[in-house]
Structure 1
Amino acid sequence: MALMTWDNDGVEQWASASGSDAVLLQSLRGFVDAGRVGKLIRDHVVSMSEPVRVVTFNVDELLDYRSRRPEMTFSINEWTAYDEPYLAIDMVRDAEDQPFLMLHGSEPDIRWELFISSVREAVKRLGVGLTVGAYGIPMGVPHTKPMTSTTHGTRQDLLRDSPGMFGTVNVPASAQNLLEYRFGQWSLDAVNVAVHVPYYLAQSSLPQAAQHALIQVEGLTGLSLDPSRLDGEAGTAMAEIVRQMAESEEVQGLVATLEAQYEAMETARRDGIEVDGPLPTADELGAEFEKFLAQQRRDLPPND
C-alpha cells in the first residue's frame, strides 16, 4: 500500500486557490512539545477555517501502536469511540482567507526517511516555497519575562533575529527537525520556531507560548494567524500560575533566581558583552531536557 494517498478534489481546490511559493505549516504530535505549543497551534489553525484534505498518509506504515497506544472509550457494555491516529496535509485558511497547507497528525515512529521523502514529493507537487514549524522546548527562563524563542532553518537569510541561547548541544532527534535538516540538504527552504518554555511549566498548557509562536510564524510567512484569539486562554493560564506560585515558596525562589539570570543576560546583551552564563550550561539544559522527555513518556496521552 502507498505511504500517502492524494485526494483529487482537495488537490484541485488547492490548485485553484493557491499561488506560487505557498506555505506549509508542519505540526506533529510527539512527546517533545513543552507547554503543549504544537497542540495549541494545531487546534487554533484548524479552527480558523474548514480544512480540506489534500494528502493522507498511511499511519499503519508509520506508527508503533504498542509503544504509543491510541485511546478507546468503553461505555457500559460496548466500545463507543476510538481516537484514531492520523497524519495528513490539509488546505486551511488564515484570518484573511489566504490559503496555506498544514501537515499535522502523529509523528511517525518508524520510516522517518521514507516519510520525509514523501513530504518532499508533496512540497514539490503542491508548489510550496517555505515549510515552517513551531514547538516548545523546556528552558531555564522565568514566566514573568517576555517570551523568547530560537529560530532555526536551512538558510540564514530566512531567519528572524532571536536571542542565541545555545552554542552546540546534542538533543534527541524528532521527525520535524530531521525534516528541516534533510530539506536543507535538498536546497528546500524550511524554518522552525522553538519557543523557550519555563521548564517548571513544561507539562502545562501555555497559550501565551503558542501566541508567541504564532507571531513568529506570521513574521516568517506573512500569514495572518490571529494570535489574539488565545488571549482569554492565556489569561486563565497565567492566573493559575500566579495562584500556584502563591502557594509555594520553593517555586517563588526558583522564579526569582531565573529572573536574576534573565536580567543579567539581557544587560550583558545590551552592553555588547559576550556571556557564557549565568544561564544553564549546555550539559544542564541537556539534563533538564532528558528529564522532561522521561516525564512526558510517562504522563502524556498517546496522541497529545
Structure 2
Amino acid sequence: MPLSGPLYERVASAPPVPAGLPLVIALTGFTDAGGAVARTVEYFRDQLEPAPVVAFDPDVLLDYRARRPIVTFEADHLTDFRPARLELSLVHDAAGRPFLLLAGFEPDFAWEAFAETVVGLAEGLSVASITWVHAIPMPVPHTRPIGTTVSGNREDLTKAHSVWQPHTQVPATVGHLLEYRFSQVDASIAGFVLLVPHYLGDTEFPGAAIAALDSLSVATGLTFDIDVLREENKPFLEKVAEQVEGSSELTTMLQNLEERYDSYMAGSGLGQPIIHTGDLPSADELAAELERFLASRPADDDKRGLR
C-alpha cells in the first residue's frame, strides 16, 4: 500500500523530553495471549497519564476493515467515535521516574517506514534502552509463575529470564522488526515473550498483564503500582479454580501440566524453567472444556488493536 501522507505528527503541546530515557514498546494486535499487552496499554493510559509527544496517523498505518474503530450508539444517535491510537509519549513510573512509551495498535501497513521512523526518533532522543513485550499461548499451568523467553542483545536478561530457547520460525510482528532494526544499529534492546497458559489465551487474564509489567521492571528498573491488577486477578483465579474443581477432566489436565512443569524445572539449567519440551497432549485437547467455561470475553483483535 503506498503511503498517503506522513506517518506521524509531533504534538504541539508535548512536554520536553530528557535525553537518555528507557523506551518501552507495547503494541496490540497479532499475538496477545491473555490480553496481556492490551491490558498493559490500558494500565499505562489509565494509571500513568502519558503525555503524547508523537502521534502516528492511523489513516496511513491501519487497515480499518480488519480492526474497526469503536462507536457508541445511544438509542437513536451516535455519541462517540473512538479512533485508533498509536503514540510515543512521556510517562512517569510510580517513583516519578520518566520513560518513553510507544503504545497502541500494531501497524498494518508501511512496516519498514514505521521501523525507520521509530529508530530515528529513538536516536534523536538518545534513548538508553528499548524493551518490548508480547504474549503467546503455551501448555503451562496457571498455578505456576508465567515464564518468559527473552530475545535481543542484553545477555544479562536472556541468560537470567529465558525459560524456553527455541530454534524456530514464527510469523513476525512489527515488534520483531523493530527489535531487528534496533539490533542492527547496536541499540540496547530486549524483547520479552510471555508464555501464557494456552487455555487462558482467549480470556482477559490480569496475571498476564502483571507479568508484562514485571518484565518491564526487570529490564528498565522502573516501578509500577499494580495493586489494581492484583485485585482484578483474585476473582479471575477464583473463577478458574471453581471451574477446575468442578470437572475431573480439568483437574487431571491441570495436574498433568503441573507435573510436567515441575519436572522440567527440576532438570533444567535455565533461569526460570517452566515448560516440558517432550510429548504433551495437544493444546486443543487440553483446552477444549476450560475454554468453554472461561472464554467469556473471546479474543477480539478489533477491540484490542484500537486501545
Q: TM-score w.r.t. structure 2 length?
A: 0.85
1:303 aligned onto 2:307: no
Asked if 2 retains the 8 angstrom alpha-carbon contact of 1:23 and 1:131, the reply is yes
Q: Which residue of 1 aligns with 2:168?
A: 169
Asked if 2 retains the 8 angstrom alpha-carbon contact of 1:262 and 1:279, the reply is no
Offset, 1:253: 1.6
1:150-299 paired onto structure 2 within 5 Å? 150-157=149-156, 159=158, 161-269=160-268, 278-279=276-277, 299=299
Alignment gaps of 5+ in structure 1? none
In the aligned structure 2, how far is the partner of 1:236 from the partner of 1:215? Answer: 20
Alignment gaps of 5+ in structure 2? none
Residues 115-137 of structure 1 deviation map (CA, whole Å, 9 limit, x = unaligned): 11111111112221211112221
In the aligned structure 2, how far is the partner of 1:299 from the partner of 1:218? Answer: 27
1:62-141 paired onto structure 2 within 5 Å? 62-141=61-140
Q: Which residue of 2 aligns with 1:26?
A: 25
Q: Which residue of 1 aligns with 2:16?
A: 14
Asked if 2 retains the 8 angstrom alpha-carbon contact of 1:85 and 1:303, the reply is no
Offset, 1:77: 2.3
Partner-residue secondary structure (3-state), 1:203: coil
In the aligned structure 1, how far is the partner of 2:105 from the partner of 2:162? Answer: 30
Q: Which residue of 2 aligns with 1:2?
A: 6
In the aligned structure 2, how far is the partner of 1:192 from the partner of 1:262? Answer: 23
Residues 80-105 of structure 1 deviation map (CA, whole Å, 9 limit, x = unaligned): 22221121111111001111111111
In the aligned structure 2, how far is the partner of 1:257 from the partner of 1:26? Answer: 35
Moved over 4 A (4+): none
What is the aligned residue count? 286
- The 3 A distance-change label for structure 1 pair 246 and 204 is same
- The 3 A distance-change label for structure 1 pair 163 and 122 is closer
- The 3 A distance-change label for structure 1 pair 84 and 36 is same
- The 3 A distance-change label for structure 1 pair 219 and 61 is same
- The 3 A distance-change label for structure 1 pair 94 and 281 is farther
Q: Which residue of 1 aligns with 2:46?
A: 47
Deviates more, 1:229-238 or 1:98-107: 229-238
In the aligned structure 2, how far is the partner of 1:299 from the partner of 1:230? Answer: 19
One-letter identity of the residue aligned with 2:9:
T
Residues 26-71 of structure 1 deviation map (CA, whole Å, 9 limit, x = unaligned): 1112131101111121122223333211001111111111122222
In the aligned structure 1, how far is the partner of 2:279 from the partner of 2:226? Answer: 32
Asked if 2 retains the 8 angstrom alpha-carbon contact of 1:48 and 1:94, the reply is no
Residues 10-40 of structure 1 deviation map (CA, whole Å, 9 limit, x = unaligned): 1xx233xx3x421111111213110111112
RMSD, aligned CA: 2.6
Offset, 1:299: 4.4
Offset, 1:158: 5.1
- The 3 A distance-change label for structure 1 pair 92 and 303 is same
Deviates more, 1:65-74 or 1:99-108: 65-74
One-letter identity of the residue aligned with 1:302:
D
Residues 245-277 of structure 1 deviation map (CA, whole Å, 9 limit, x = unaligned): 12322222211111111111112126x9xx9x9
Asked if 2 retains the 8 angstrom alpha-carbon contact of 1:24 and 1:103, the reply is yes
